[in-house]
A and B are shown apart, each in its own frame.
Chain A
Amino acid sequence: MTQTIHADGRDIAVDKEGFLVSLDDWSEAVAHELARREGIELTPAHMEVILLLRRFYQTFQLSPAMRALVKFVGQELGKDKGNSMYLLTLFPGSPAKLGSKIAGLPKPENCL
């Protein structure tokens, strides 16, 4: 079952959990709308991680599980940000899943 959200002056399909149906539909404006639906107002700190998530996906063809996300963020943005506390502050609950959703990635397979 798909629904549509409205962002960037377009109608965009998302699945019943709110993940983008097509990865190509993503833009920063779409990210803001996806985040708003999750009750998050995106700041530059969020966007930094969102863009990193997209880079992770492009490099490894995988949505990261939590452990991998922490490691990748630590490697790319430094130890201050590469920890689960920091990521949980930005994306409460399940940073890997929530972050992937806002970044327009498929739902992480290895994340319950």
Chain B
Amino acid sequence: MRSTLLHLLRHAPQDDTHFATSLRVIGPEQGLLLIEDAVYALLPRTSAVNAMQLLPASIRLFALESDVLARGLAIDDLPQRVSLIDYPDMVELCTRYDKVLSW
């Protein structure tokens, strides 16, 4: 049985291998949500943000807006394909996918 999966990342890609790992094993139609320090993956011109840009277009990317703003990342610099969401969106997102893998 195929089911949908949301990868939930919480640690900065610069400090933690789980970011690279989840990008390596993410399947088409799956989603990736960045919260807490994982939003540092959106720092411009880093290998992390480049790697996300290269993911198949069928993979949806999300980031928790408050975590992005709290860390002073400029919204204008974010890749267009990243959807910024709030906490109610995050809850909704977690229920929309069959399962959530929290790295």
- Do A and B come into direct contact in the complex, CB within 8 Å? no
Mark B residues whose CB is within 8 Å of A. Answer: none
